[in-house]
Amino acid sequence: MAGNHDTRHIVPRPVEHRAVADALYQRAAGAFGQAGEQRSACRGIGRGGFDLDQLMVGEGALGLTHDGLAEAGRSETNHRLERVCQCAKMTALAFGECLGRGHVSILQADMAKRSQSSGRWLNEHFSDPFVKRAQAEGWRSRAAFKLEEIDLREKMFRTGAICLDLGAAPGAWSQYARRRLGRSGQMLATDILPMESIAGVEFVQGDFRDPVVFDSILERLPGRQVDWVLSDMAPAFSGIDVVDQPRAMDLAELALDMAGRVLKPGGGALIKLFQGAGFEVLVRTTRGQFGKVKLIKPTASRARSAEMYMLAKDYRLV
């Protein structure tokens, strides 16, 4: 293993965010689990606070990714919309089991309205100029343009830099960063989900909180010489604010924790955040570890989305 790393494993911390989220999420997890493999396509659909950019779903459901529909053919639109509507009904029934059967009819009516909204959002996605551009230029997803805008504005990457991308799948950020680092740079990506290979990008599949995965990542990095840690991670949204926001903030905290373990002095991190409970506290914490911290809403980030990107530069090694 390369030297000079903080070899303490990243483990879930007993922070308030995780405690609140887990208590609420476990109550509903069993019922959602009975809704079938396609249930994940419904999570978050119909919510005003989150849109298709933030969906994290299973491979078997609609072919969606955290940045929307992944390379979906336009001819499949109607079929996909029908599946979304079916999933919405299944989720209403499943969630009704959590609350009691008396609530099922109310939930079914609500989900029917939401499935209509999801159809409009899917159509909006297909007409999105960033989606069209991503398909035309060969990017894995429209998320590449968020990173591109921030990079060009803030002059993030340089030739020969070393970069770690957390929650990388489907790989748009790794794809963009790899091009910017040049042949002498190093790009390492990791995700729980599988990711199709990208030339010049090393990939470690698994949860980086797992000691085995964590060690595998460290073995591929030089001792505390990482220039950038990137995180576009988002949780599997349930559509319940008090569950989703703590989980989103927990992922951001984990990304910041990883940055503190691998960044070299003067290094930087770009981390996705969602505005809500815990947002300001995490920003203050980050300001104590980095010389410069800026919040950015790139043009490619949909206006209604609660997502923001925290750009932290000049890491202080304590």
Active centre residues (catalytic): 272
Region of residue 75 (phi > 0: left; psi between -120 and 50: alpha; otherwise: beta): alpha
Coil, helix or strand at residue 195: coil
Region of residue 273 (phi > 0: left; psi between -120 and 50: alpha; otherwise: beta): beta
Region of residue 216 (phi > 0: left; psi between -120 and 50: alpha; otherwise: beta): alpha
For residue 156 the two structure tokens come to 């993030």
CB 248 within 8 A of CB 207: no
Choose among 66, 63, 42: nearest CA to 52: 66
CB 259 within 8 A of CB 278: no
For residue 160 the two structure tokens come to 């020969």
What b/e sequence results for 23-34 when a residue is b if at least 16 CB atoms lie within 10 Å of its CB, and e otherwise?
ebbeebeebbee
What is the DSSP track for 82-135? HHHHHHHHHHHHHHHHHH-GGGHHHHHHHHHHHHHHHHHHHHHHHH-HHHHHHH
- What element of type H or E holds 270? strand 263-274
